[in-house]
Amino acid sequence: MFSSDALTAIEEYAALLATEGVLRGLIGPREVPRLWERHLLNSAVLSEAIPEGSTVCDIGSGAGLPGLALAIARPDLRVTLVEPLLRRTTFLDEVAGQLGLDQVEVVRGRADSLHGERAYDVVTSRAVAPLTRLLEWSMPLVGPSGALLAMKGQSVEDEIVEAGPVLKRYRCGEPEVLTLGAEVVDPPTRVVRVAWADPTQVGWPLASTSRASARKSGKKGSRRPRDS
């Protein structure tokens, strides 16, 4: 998963997670013995589904998973880590600086603070929220030819069914469930991929128009949940 040039960086990142990450409450001490298989490799295999030279936004990045692992494994990617908590963004800034990851940007804020301002080829997340809420936070950041790649567990099919109304409202394409890293990690990483049904009519402007119409008609628009 990591080239010889990247191996030193990922080992250093692992060491930082196991020390500073635990001390700062970013990762539980029980996770240290399984950092590689459960966290680092589990995140890095996401790169199998990301085209070369992509811009990537990792929302709710926490301690940097999967964003930092992707940036180390794939130096061709430009990665933005979005995280609202100061203690986490401080750690992310320190790690990116220490490892010389010049292609990484850390943004302190919620995902919706970037809505209407930025668009990415890929928007990632790991253990952030159920798919219904994740779509509302993530799809406004997905460019016309881009996709959401959300790491999910065994309940992903149920989440897709529950998210049906949101998928329809945002005019998303049919979700795909990908199994990645089958020869690298056990169990392999499960990812749900969601792209736009029609790249010429992405859902965020349509959603904005819908809310504006609701206000004009005197109806209360639905309140978008906020990530934490």
Annotated binding site: 60, 65, 126
To 5 degrees, how large is the angle CA 13–CA 68–CA 158?
120
Annotated binding site for S-adenosyl-L-methionine: 60, 65, 126
Tokens 């301690």 map to which residue?
63
End-to-end CA distance of the chain: 31
* Alpha carbons within 13 A on the beta-carbon side of 70: 35
